[in-house]
Amino acid sequence: MRKKLVTTSSQGLMENAYPYRLYQKAKKFGVWNPQNINFSQDKEDWKLLSVNQKDWILKLLAQFQGGEEAVTLDLLPLLRVIANEGRLEEEMFLTTFLCDEAKHTEFFRIVLNAIGEKDDLSHLHSESYRKLFYEILPETMERLWYEQTPEVIADAATVYNMFAEGVLAETGYKTFYDGLQKIGKMPGLLEGIDHLKRDESRHIAYGTFLLQRLICEHPHLYARIIKKLEELAPIAISLNAEGVIGQSEKSNEYSSEMNKYSERQLKARMEILARARGKTINEIYQSVQENL
């Protein structure tokens, strides 16, 4: 039984809360429509690309298409948990989060349709890719349906927000964006990835906040989160190696660069999480507000 409705009480909405401000940013900057992107030049570019370039782009498209579908399917349990806890402002942001993921899924399908790729691409999902998106991610998120302990919520935010988005997606989009700029082709795909990068920045910001809040409320979770990230790190290394063009020496160098980029991003977020230990919830809110 619901105890009360906060928006008609003296409490109202927490308009200064970080998740509520992220919700406002999502309304302002997340309004792009995949249907409005012009892919006519992409269709022509696709015909002129080399076999190696097509193979590289198609593999990344298959991975991002599957990844975006997976995170769209797997987010709902977290939204339910946050709603059940009565964290209305966080729930409001998570509704935009879910909508973003649905748009990302739509976007990559539109790209594949535009270049005439209608075949089954699941064979392009590698063993390390399948380990995360077919096993670890859905199993971790589905636990939230029947177990809502702080430990399970922390695992979900670590795997979904901090790793799948904060390490893999962020590094992957950089790889994709840099590669497309280098060959100077596929402007519609580039435009969409630019939108996706902005959306993901909000998602990662929320995930970082959620883990900070959990560490503040349950300090023992910090060690659990760090251990989980260390366990997942080898998957990032494998996927970085798979995401570069060709098998040349320069490709190996670029893979190394991407690994270093992933490590820097992960290290920066781990430092943020470390600073959450020993802080009050008000101090957490203050620190994330300053970084918004």
| Nearest of 177, 187, 204, 192 to residue 32 by alpha carbon | 192
**Burial class (CB within 10 angstroms; exposed 0-12, middle 13-18, buried 19+) of 251:** middle
Cα 221 to Cα 43: distance, rounded to the nearest angstrom = 49
What pLDDT score does 288 carry? 66
Cβ contacts of residue 81 below 8 Å, gap of 6+? 144, 148, 153
Tokens 């649905």: give the residue: 102
**Per-residue confidence (pLDDT) for residue 245, from 0 to 100:** 44
Residue boundaries of the structural domains of the chain: 35-285
In 3D space, the residue among 124, 121, 118, 112 whose CA is nearest the CA of residue 42 turns out to be 112
Burial class from Cβ neighbours inside 10 Å (0-12, 13-18, 19+) for residue 125 reads: middle
- Closest by CA to 251, choosing from 259, 144, 118, is 259
Look at phi and psi of residue 245 and say left if phi exceeds 0, alpha if psi is from -120 to 50, else beta: beta
Q: What is the pTM of this model?
A: 0.90
Spatial separation of the C-alpha atoms in residues 21 and 141, rounded to whole Å: 25
35-285, superfamily in CATH?
Ribonucleotide Reductase, subunit A (1.10.620.20)
Q: What is the pLDDT along the chain (292 residues), one digit of tens a residue?
A: 666 777 766 676 677 888 999 999 999 998 999 999 999 999 999 999 999 999 999 999 999 999 999 999 999 999 999 999 999 999 999 999 999 999 999 999 999 999 999 999 999 999 999 999 999 999 999 999 999 999 999 999 999 999 999 888 888 888 889 889 999 999 999 999 999 999 999 999 999 999 999 999 999 999 999 999 989 988 887 877 765 444 444 555 556 777 787 778 778 878 888 888 887 777 777 766 666 5
Which of 53, 26, 197 is closest to 115 using CA atoms? 53
Buried b (16+ CB within 10 A) or exposed e, 15-47: eebbbbbbbebbeeebebebeebebeebeebbe
CB 79 within 8 A of CB 188: no
Token pair in block for residue 34: 């995949």
Tally the residues of the chain.
292
Cβ partners under 8 Å of residue 234, min gap 6: 128
As a whole number of angstroms, the distance between CA 112 and CA 5 comes to: 44
